[in-house]
């Protein structure tokens, strides 16, 4: 989020040619604390989608538990 960006704590999940990743990594480290090479082109996006889905599932579960607790 915005707070992590301001603090320089972003995580970059990167796909592409490994030599190009190595060249860009130094720049990405300036903007984030975690830079992860995920493999070929598109794998960084796939990892990000999986991460977002897991976060969404967790948030939905928390909201449903709160709703159930309030109703009881």
pLDDT tens profile 56-69: 999 999 999 999 99
- Model pLDDT, residue 6: 86
- Model pLDDT, residue 1: 75
Establish whether 25 is a catalytic residue.
no
Residue 70 DSSP label: H
Query: 31 Cβ partners below 8 Å, 6+ apart?
Result: 5, 8, 10, 12
8 A C-beta contact, residue 41 and residue 15:
yes
Query: 29 Cβ partners below 8 Å, 6+ apart?
Result: 35
Choose, from 43, 48, 55, 66, the residue flagged as catalytic.
48
Residue 8 DSSP label: T
pLDDT-based confidence at 45, cuts 50/70/90?
very high
State the total domains in the chain. 1
């Amino acid at each position: 989020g915005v707070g992590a960006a301001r603090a320089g704590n972003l995580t970059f999940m990167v796909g592409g040619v490994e030599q190009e990743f190595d060249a860009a990594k130094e720049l990405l480290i300036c903007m984030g604390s975690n830079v992860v090479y995920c493999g070929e082109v598109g794998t960084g996006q796939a990892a990000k989608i999986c991460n977002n889905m897991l976060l969404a599932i967790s948030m939905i579960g928390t909201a449903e538990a709160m709703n159930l607790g309030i109703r009881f």
